[in-house]
Structure 1
Amino acid sequence: MPESSTATFSVRDKLVATTRGTLPITAGWVVTDADGSVVSSRVDLDLTRVDTGSAHRDRDLQKPSLLDGVGHPVISVHTGPTTPQVTQWTVPSTLSARGASCPLELHVSGTTTDQDHAQVHVTARLDRTGLGMRVPTFIIGRLVDIDVAALFERTGTSTGG
């Protein structure tokens, strides 16, 4: 997965503003069968390199009461089998962060592929309480919007099954 792949997020901050940030995608893969259906996939994000434009906020997000980047530096999203649709499809997945996991519904669109690449656009809305974060919503909003643009490179052939 090239560095051109990006993950961004936004969350309401103190009921007044929206905080935006980025997380580097450090790894990712998709396993498909012969028909192009997704067997499984995974994307890893580097929590230690979160960037919200505020060094103070970025350090706070590393604390155990928030995302616990010291104890759990990787956020992972895993999917199981799904069949791509023509324009957009919904993919059930699991997000793992801070030593906890919660369901996450991914919305995938804008897929373009050639012989060696597949580019996807993924959006989701995470309810952070599913990860056990107990910060009052007047400080950090409960819902986090996620937007990922990922470019996957073919590295081999899957036989599926």
Structure 2
Amino acid sequence: MRRGLLVGLVLLGGGLLTACTPPTYDLAGVYKDDSGQIMVEAGRCSNEGQISGFYLAGPPVEGEPSSTRTTGHVRGDTHPGPFPLLAPVPGPDGKPGAAPPLDAGSYYLRFHVLKDEHRVLYSSATSFESGDIQALRPGQVWANDKAMSRDHFRTYLRDAC
């Protein structure tokens, strides 16, 4: 009897923890603009919530302690894009220069949509290879593990949630 009660409580507790975990969607599209700069357009499930900072991980950078990269997203900007995937490197005069090239390898882009300062409504996680982005034709976006047109990407965002 006790064993059955204990198993029931463990299953109930696990179910409650699972129910409290915010869902994760693939809501970011990565593409090259007309100048060849790699850009991100992030979507939301609705106009509700505020996008928090973006996290980008990729292959290790020589001389850097981690694989984390700085995106071109401006902290506090609630507009979901487009913005440069990689933050521009300051030039010798201290003004922003060109974005660094996308090194060969695998990348992982993640962001959260917050209901308020402390509550995550949902997250977005997108994975891609540098070769996927380099192979895109004009007007194509990499999202949901494949190349697609901009129109298809916007339709995909409406249906993703």
- Say whether the fold is shared (TM-score over 0.5): no
The structure that is strand-richer by fraction is 1
- Structure 1-normalised TM-score? 0.31
- Structure 2-normalised TM-score? 0.31
The structure that is helix-richer by fraction is 2
Determine which structure has more spread, i.e. the larger CA radius of gyration.
Answer: 2
